[in-house]
Structure formats: C-alpha cells, structure tokens
Structure 1
Amino acid sequence: MTGTEHPALAAPPGLADLRRAAHAATAPEVWDFVEGGSGWETTLSANRAAFDGVSLVPRVMTGAGSADCGGRLLGSDVAAPLLVAPMAYQRLLHPDGELATARAAREAGVPFVLSTLSSHSVEAVVETGADVWFQLYWLRERQAREELVAGAERLGCRALVVTVDVPVMGRRWRDVTNGFTLPPHVRAALLGPGLDDLAHRPASGVSAVAAHTRSLFRVPSLSELEQLRRRTELPLVVKGILDPQDARRAVECGADAVVVSNHGGRQLDGAVPAVAQLPAVVEAVGGQCDVLLDSGVRTGTDVLRALALGAAGVLLGRPVLWGLAADGEKGVARVLSVVRDELRESMLIAGCADLAAAARLRTRRWGQGD
C-alpha cells in the first residue's frame, strides 16, 4: 500500500496545488502517516463517498444578497463554523509545526484544537494568540493526565476535547509497512521526559507510533468522564462519537459538545462514515449540547452539508496539513481561506443569508426521500 495514491484523498480544485506541493515536500513515510487510514482504508474512502452522497436543496428568491458565515461555538464568536482538528506531531511537516497552524487559525478567526501529541508546548501555542482548545488523550498514568488538564486550564485553553475512540491505535498498514518511527527532532512536547521514547524506537514491521500510543493511552470510563466534568470548569467536548446512544451518555456525563467522528478513517476500518451518523446523533442529543463533525471534510460545500444536517461546526484535518507542509503558516491560512470562501459562496447560491438559514436547508440522499 505504501507509495500508492488513494482516490479518496484527491484534493478539491481549490487546494489541489497545495496538496501536490505538500506531497513533493514531504518524506514518503511521513506522507503515508498523514494520508493513510486503518486496515484496507475502506472507511477512509467511505467518508468522502458519504459526503458526496448528500445533496442540498437550495432555496431561491430568499432575498439573501450576501452571506454571513460568522457564528458562535461554545459561546465564543467565530468567523466561520470551522475548527482546526487536533493532529499530532506537526513538526513532521514544517519546523514551526503547531505554531504556524495556530497563527493561521488566529488570523482566520477560528479555534485551534491542540493535540496531546503536539510537538510544541501548550505555552508556546497559547502565546500565538489563537483560540486554543486542548485535546486530551486519556493517559493511563493519573498524575500525568491531571497535570495536562491543569496546565490547559492554567494557560488559558478554552475547552477540553476528550478523545474516546482510541483504546488502541487502529492498524495503519502504511505505517506498519514503513516501520514508521518519529525522527529525533520531533518529540511529544507535552509528555514528560522519556514518555515518548517508544515512538522513536525503530523495529521492522512495527509502527513505533502505534506501540507508543498503546503503552500510554486508554479510553475513560463514564465515571471518569463524570469526574473530569466535576473537576474542571472548562467546556467539555467528547470526540469520537458515532452511536446515538453514546452521544446521549456523553450528555448525561455533562458534555457541552460531542464530535461525530471516526477519527478520519484511522481507527476501526469498516466503521460507518461520520456524516452518515450526524442526523441521528443530532436527534439523540435533542439540543442539550452542540454537535460537531469531522472525518472527510474537504470543501466549504461539505461544511454547508454538515450544517444542513444539524452540525454546529466542523473540524478540518488533512487539508490543513497539506497547507502546513506546502507553505507553513501561509499555506494553512490559504486552506482556511479557501474553505471559508467556498462556504460563503455556497451559502449565497443556496439562498442562505446566515448560519441559521443554512441549518434550515433540506438535504437528500440518492435513492431516498427528503
């Protein structure tokens, strides 16, 4: 599978040149780490196919002479209903890594979700002035986990995003084939000394990053999630939800938002596409929390599709990394600008003056009724 081009990963026209430049600038094994999915990559492909299967029913003669895509997420103003998804080890793609991405998110007026596996410190990222949400992998070691939460609170992160779909890392055959190992200059900056050594230890036919994740992380129980809710005053976001029952359980634990996600096709291969589950999750939570979406988002029209299906916003992943690898902060800024402009244009053509109107759009799936 290494070195092959996956048809589901082709970039939309507005970003195709950035993706080509990113591919050319990136070591093959790093490109596979970024672009690859788990197993046979069927869910990776299905995410994109599911978006393409959602058709919008535009309105006409609505009087919408312009479209405003500004809104609010977890009580704060955003320039568009977008967030930069949490993505690990961004210094693999550019020396500035998360700092460049956070600066671009700040300029675009959208939140930046910082991964537990960031290659820059929380302090440095917060100092960019970005609206930083902190993504928490549930470390097995309690003290280290609590220190991460306390640091996020102390340093001004605005939300906690707890990832709950990684009991172990899905088997990503590209990484296994490559024996993918972190280079010496890329470290998990938020973990204590020595806690990322395993990710740097090469072994034939083994993904060192997967071995590292397996050794350090697990998923929280419901009672642990409830304890975290009592422990922190930050908004709590639960990421990795596909089943409506799990969405309801997250709400019962006090979640302020859930993220409908299959981890970008990188966990259970064969899992349902995230966007296909979005309406059921929205119905299940019944307005008791915000519903966000990731996995497969590539264009502004995808964002509009998600809004019409009930999402409050979407998280953008791989295209951001294309921009980072191609041109650092400027590349990320361009990706966010293209997606925001596409959203605004799609809203206008669909007769939507604002996000409330976008949420009222009707959708169809091929072969189904409204």
Structure 2
Amino acid sequence: MSDAGAPVSLADYEARARETLDANAWAYFAGGAADEITLAANRAAWAASWLQPRVLRASAQGHTRVELLGRTLAHPILVAPMAFQRLAHESGELGVALAAAAQGAGMVLSAQASVPLEQVARLVRPEPARGPLWFQLYLQGERGFDLELVRRAEAAGYEALVLTVDAPVHGARDRERRAGFRLPPDVAAVNLAAAPTSARGGELCGGLLASAPSWDDVAWLRAQTKLPLVLKGVLHPEDAKLAHAHGADALIVSNHGGRTLDTALPTAWALPRIADALAGVSGAALPLLVDGGIRRGTDVLKAIALGARAVLVGRPIAFALAAAGPQGVAHALRLLRDELEIAMALAGVATLADVPRELLFEASKSSLGAPWERPR
C-alpha cells in the first residue's frame, strides 16, 4: 500500500469497504438490530466523554503493555470474534489472524468462522510476537457437541474460551432482511457443521429458547476445561457478579455491536458501572474488556480509564479486510495503536496502569454539551 491516498483512519477503511463489498456483505458487516439505535449509540458514547489531559508529566519510560490472563500483551487491542470473514475477503480468518499476529494483537476466532479452527491456530501459533489466541463459543444445547468443540480448541492450542452469552437468538436485523442476506455457497460456519438441530419447546421465539444457555451451563463449562473462561456480552452489574461467582476469569462488556437487542445501553456507559460493582465484591478482581464503537486511539484510552484492561475491535477489521486484505488489517491495527500512543503522550500518562478515571470529564458537566449538540 503506497502512502499516497492511503487510509489514515479506521473511518477511511469503512468508506473504502462500502465501495468494495456487495449489498449482501455490506448489510451483514455494517448493519445492526432494528433501528440501529444501539449501533449508533456505541460510537456516540465514546465521543461524549471528554479528556482532561495533564501536562509536563514524565513519560520517557512509557509503554502500552498490559497483563491479561497470564500474558504480557504489547498493547491492549484484540480482534473481536466475527463470523464469516470470507464474506469480506478470500483470505478470511486466516488473513486476519496473520495480520493480527504481525501487529502483536490478540485474536478471538468466532465459532462461526469460515475456516477450520485448527488451520488458524497452526498458522499463527509459531509467531513469537503474536497476541493471545482465543476461541469463541456459542453453546449449541447439546453438551456432547459443545464438549467436543472445547476439546478441539484445547488441542489446537487456543489459550482461552470466550463464551458469548447475549445472543440466545438473533436480533431483528432489518438491514439484512431488506438486502435479502444469504451466505454464498462457498462460505459456511465450518466448525459447526455437525452441530445439533435446536430443540423445540415453549412459545417464545418458536421454541428456540428451550436450548438457550443458563448459569448452570456456565458452571458446567467451567468444570470441563482448565482454559481461562471469558464471558462476552455482559451489560448489567449483577450479571458481572454472577459471572464471578460461576468461575469466569474475565468479562467482555459488550452489546454484540448493536446486533442483538436494539436500545441496549452503549458499552461505554455499562463499563464503569460494572467496574465499580466488581470493586465492591471481595476477591472479584476480574479483568474487564470492552467492545462496541471503538474507532480511535482516544476511545481505547477512555476505555482503560473506565476500568477496561483491553478492548476488542470488530467491524473496522472487517472493513479493512474488505478494502485491502490482510495488509489492510495490519495497517488498521497499527493506526489504532499509534493513535493510542499519541493520546497517552498528549494526555500525560506514561503507562496504561497510570490511567485514572479522572482523566475523563463527563460531557454532562460541561456547558459545551456533547459533540453532536454543539453549534456547527
């Protein structure tokens, strides 16, 4: 990629992806649930937090390293689990995994990946500077199949399991329905090919909730594996406490990128409430991660200030993959890390462990108002 005309922000990649993807794939990657209120609010909530930088602070020994689940990460940016990445580019999850490894970013492989989980692990595990490699699970309602998938992930060398808990059914994705979304014949959730057909029973959602996971399933999964167990999709402080009680090793504060329950609160609002709730529970030192609307290095810094140990980025990675393949993904991750370093330097924080909650000045306390409310 030459410098002339190259993307300089994640938004640039989104614009290029819009020109590259067909209507079917664009609806899938860009869309959210229903009126897409939560989808928009995720981004707006980060923008509504103002930074109060400190000046003349010593930062010569600064760095972006963080400790997470027994590993030292070069920086706190991970690739979120996203299904069917071969919709965006022929290299799919393999290209994203290589790009993430090249940038020292962690990757969470979706259970609905369009390539075998073993193939991704073989490709990137030998990379010495890669970030952590985690595997996402959706419990399928049949413990024999679920346990087989866990054992495959363990044998392949994945370092943690990420159980998504906020999507027992699909959201009402109007944009996908308007586009008549269909997977092309050569793209499928290959790791779930032998998954059981969901049981039917009850009235809600055509009986699909009969096989929806519960806290008992979390406890069962915790007992089946020695891998760290991360719960993804927690927004309520009481659920965060229950996750701790059921043996979770970390939590991802997430509303599924606005793709499930529309008008669910934005993650930037949920994160500090969960952090505060867990701070009041003895022994509940759960690392928190967050996703949803992260587009700038300043967003990453704000997430750390609000209690996150790391962030996950989803749609921008799919857009970069569509626009420029694996090279675009690597460049997008580098842009985000560079912006984080710039934000740290200008905010007067040398390390992420030094980021205080007081770095943020809430828009509601300012006569300037939120960015979208100011006169133009």
User: How does the TM-score come out when normalised to structure 1?
Assistant: 0.88
Matched, 1:38 2:33: yes
Give the counterpart letter for 2:254 in structure 1.
Answer: S
1:110 positional shift: 1.7
Matched, 1:269 2:266: no
What are the superposed Cα offsets for residues 79-99 of structure 1, whole Å, 9 maximum, x if unpaired?
110110000000001111000
1:66 positional shift: 5.9
SS across alignment from 1:306: helix
Question: 2:278 is matched with which residue: 256, 279, 285?
Answer: 285
Distance 2:195 2:147 in 1: 18
Give the counterpart letter for 1:344 in structure 2.
Answer: E
Distance 1:150 1:79 in 2: 28
1:366 positional shift: 1.3
1:271 positional shift: 0.7
Give the counterpart letter for 1:259 in structure 2.
Answer: I
Q: Is the 8 A contact 1:164 1:219 kept in 2?
A: no
1:218 positional shift: 5.1
Task: Provide the residue aligned with 2:202 in structure 1.
Answer: none
What are the superposed Cα offsets for residues 205-227 of structure 1, whole Å, 9 maximum, x if unpaired?
xxxxxx9xx96995421111011
Matched, 1:256 2:224: no
Unaligned runs of 5+ in 2: 1-6, 126-131, 198-204, 367-376
Matched, 1:246 2:239: yes
Task: Provide the residue aligned with 2:47 in structure 1.
Answer: 52
Give the counterpart letter for 1:317 in structure 2.
Answer: G
Matched, 1:333 2:330: yes
Task: Provide the residue aligned with 1:92 in structure 2.
Answer: 87
SS across alignment from 2:364: coil
Question: 2:311 is matched with which residue: 302, 310, 314?
Answer: 314
Shift in CA distance, 86/217, structure 1 to aligned 2, threshold 3 Å:
farther
Give the counterpart letter for 1:339 in structure 2.
Answer: L
1:61 positional shift: 1.7
Give the counterpart letter for 1:282 in structure 2.
Answer: A
Task: Provide the residue aligned with 2:370 in structure 1.
Answer: none
Task: Provide the residue aligned with 1:4 in structure 2.
Answer: none
SS across alignment from 1:139: coil
1:48 positional shift: 1.1
What are the superposed Cα offsets for residues 104-148 of structure 1, whole Å, 9 maximum, x if unpaired?
111111210000100011111001225310000111222221111
Give the counterpart letter for 1:277 in structure 2.
Answer: A
Matched, 1:145 2:138: no
1:175 positional shift: 1.0
Distance 1:315 1:219 in 2: 25
Q: Is the 8 A contact 1:247 1:285 kept in 2?
A: yes
Bigger shift: 61-70 or 293-302?
61-70
Number of positions where the alignment pairs a residue of Structure 1 with one of Structure 2: 343
Shift in CA distance, 367/189, structure 1 to aligned 2, threshold 3 Å:
same
1:6-17 equivalent positions in 2, closer than 5 A = 14-17=9-12
Distance 2:194 2:245 in 1: 36
1:194 positional shift: 8.2
Distance 1:359 1:98 in 2: 36
Bigger shift: 265-274 or 279-288?
279-288
1:341-352 equivalent positions in 2, closer than 5 A = 341-352=338-349
Give the counterpart letter for 1:99 in structure 2.
Answer: L
Distance 1:176 1:307 in 2: 36
Distance 1:215 1:325 in 2: 33
Q: Is the 8 A contact 2:89 2:325 kept in 1?
A: yes
Task: Provide the residue aligned with 2:365 in structure 1.
Answer: 368
Distance 1:293 1:324 in 2: 22
What are the superposed Cα offsets for residues 164-195 of structure 1, whole Å, 9 maximum, x if unpaired?
00111100001111221110010111013587
Question: 1:234 is matched with which residue: 219, 227, 240?
Answer: 227
Task: Provide the residue aligned with 2:107 in structure 1.
Answer: 112
Q: Is the 8 A contact 1:25 1:325 kept in 2?
A: yes
Q: Is the 8 A contact 2:142 2:196 kept in 1?
A: no
Task: Provide the residue aligned with 1:189 in structure 2.
Answer: 190
Bigger shift: 139-148 or 315-324?
139-148
Shift in CA distance, 17/45, structure 1 to aligned 2, threshold 3 Å:
closer
Task: Provide the residue aligned with 1:3 in structure 2.
Answer: none
Matched, 1:102 2:103: no
Shift in CA distance, 75/360, structure 1 to aligned 2, threshold 3 Å:
farther
1:13 positional shift: 5.6
Distance 2:345 2:212 in 1: 42
1:241 positional shift: 0.4
Bigger shift: 184-193 or 216-225?
216-225
Task: Provide the residue aligned with 1:305 in structure 2.
Answer: 302
Q: Is the 8 A contact 1:139 1:216 kept in 2?
A: no
Task: Provide the residue aligned with 1:121 in structure 2.
Answer: 116
Q: Is the 8 A contact 1:138 1:217 kept in 2?
A: no
Shift in CA distance, 230/141, structure 1 to aligned 2, threshold 3 Å:
closer
Distance 1:313 1:194 in 2: 32
Q: Is the 8 A contact 2:140 2:196 kept in 1?
A: no
Q: Is the 8 A contact 2:232 2:251 kept in 1?
A: yes
Q: Is the 8 A contact 2:96 2:321 kept in 1?
A: yes
What are the superposed Cα offsets for residues 1-37 of structure 1, whole Å, 9 maximum, x if unpaired?
xxxxxxxxxxx96233322222222111110110001
